[in-house]
Amino acid sequence: MIKIIVAGSALGIIVFLFFFGVQWPLFWKESGFTRVTSDKLDQYNPAIYGDLISYINTDSDGAEICLYNIVSGERMEVTDDHFNQYVNDIWDGYIVYGDARGGNSNILLYDLIEGREVLIDGGGEHRMFPALGDGLIAWQEFDGDSYQIMIFNISRGVKSQVTRGKHNDRHPKVSGGWIVWQSDWEEGSTVFLHDIRENSTLQLGGPGEIQFSPSVHQSRVVFLQLVDGECHLFLHDMADGSTTRITEDGADKQNPSIHGDLITWEDTRNGNLDVYLYDLETGLEKQITDHPADQYLSDIYGRWVVYTDERSGDMDIYLFEYNEGP
């Protein structure tokens, strides 16, 4: 059973003003880039859906979830209870996040339209990396022996366990009726795909292979794989069963994301972490960031790329608008 935590009138007014009220100006914009945050403390781990960016904001009391509207330039604080929220995702009027209140590891959902917070699962420890898409929440949960993948159907209010193996199943993503995750074995790691509608599971890798960090949008899955000691980005298309290597450079990579024909990831080929983009329609690879500081924890929706940037000495959120071209 889910539990509604808060639904205050003051917070409802804030949500109303966020969508319909006075507009705040953008902080900084140049050649397609927008600096979303400029506070002295850290803001990081952005997620994007439509015109909205959710992210983690730190202050002297802990870490909270905040929201930024790309069109209006407005920002709002979603949580203010100082329970140290972490790892958030956003989809169609909902934000999901981890929360450490009560000394537990909790998964919570915030309904932006109704202005309320809902406890999805809580008590105990080791619920991590919640992901949100197409009305489903997925996360990894420790069962006493290993991590398993769980899902929660928002409209039905039902929690289900997807995996029950002895290996550690981690970092789930969900889209288009599919859940993808990384399964860690003693001899390596591989990516699994689970079709929610058919209740069937496909394993992409084989024994000895090292695949990790999957992400999914509709019928396309991107993931990283070590090949002869090099790290490469791959695309698996569930529509035709094909798997294609995307990158030529073998430098270390992390955190790939996909939306439509666009893929982003972080890349170390220049000696630091930069955000890169690959356009499946044009076959072009583009370096998004080139500052000597690190840029990482990126996400993509449509033509918008959001990421965490350390160029100011702390962590800030930046936004990039991609236009086709080298």
Q: Per-residue pLDDT for 15 more than 60? A: no
Determine the pLDDT at residue 325: 59
Residue in the structure block whose two tokens are 């094909």: 242
Determine the pLDDT at residue 179: 98
The letter for the amino acid at 299 is D
Determine the pLDDT at residue 125: 78
Determine the pLDDT at residue 68: 97
pLDDT tens-digit readout, 24-36? 334 444 579 999 9
Q: Per-residue pLDDT for 292 more than 60? A: yes
pLDDT tens-digit readout, 296-311? 999 999 999 999 999 9
Q: Per-residue pLDDT for 104 more than 50? A: yes
Determine the pLDDT at residue 204: 95
CATH of 1-125 among 2.120.10.30, 3.30.420.40, 2.60.40.3140, 2.40.30.170: 2.120.10.30
In the Cβ-directed half-sphere of 107, how many Cα atoms lie within 13 Å? Answer: 24
Q: Looking at 4-13, 194-203, 269-278, which range is the least confident one?
A: 4-13
- CB-neighbour burial class of residue 100 (10 A; exposed 0-12, middle 13-18, buried 19+): middle
- Retrieve residue 71's tokens: 């069109």
pTM for the whole thing? Answer: 0.90
At residue 11 the predicted structure's pLDDT band, cuts being 50, 70 and 90, is very low
What is the percent of the chain with per-residue pLDDT over 70, rounded to a whole number? 90
pLDDT mean across residues, the chain? 90
User: Where exactly are the structural domains of the chain?
Assistant: 1-125
Q: Which has more pLDDT, 326 or 74?
A: 74
Determine the pLDDT at residue 13: 39
Query: What's the mean pLDDT in 318-322?
Result: 97
Residues 149-158: contacts with CB within 8 Å, 24+ apart?
Answer: 149/179, 149/181, 149/194, 150/121, 151/179, 151/196, 152/107, 152/120, 152/121, 154/94, 154/109, 157/1, 157/2
pLDDT tens-digit readout, 106-164? 999 999 999 999 999 998 779 999 999 999 999 999 999 999 999 999 999 999 999 99
Determine the pLDDT at residue 206: 85
Q: Per-residue pLDDT for 44 more than 90? A: yes
At residue 101 the predicted structure's pLDDT band, cuts being 50, 70 and 90, is confident
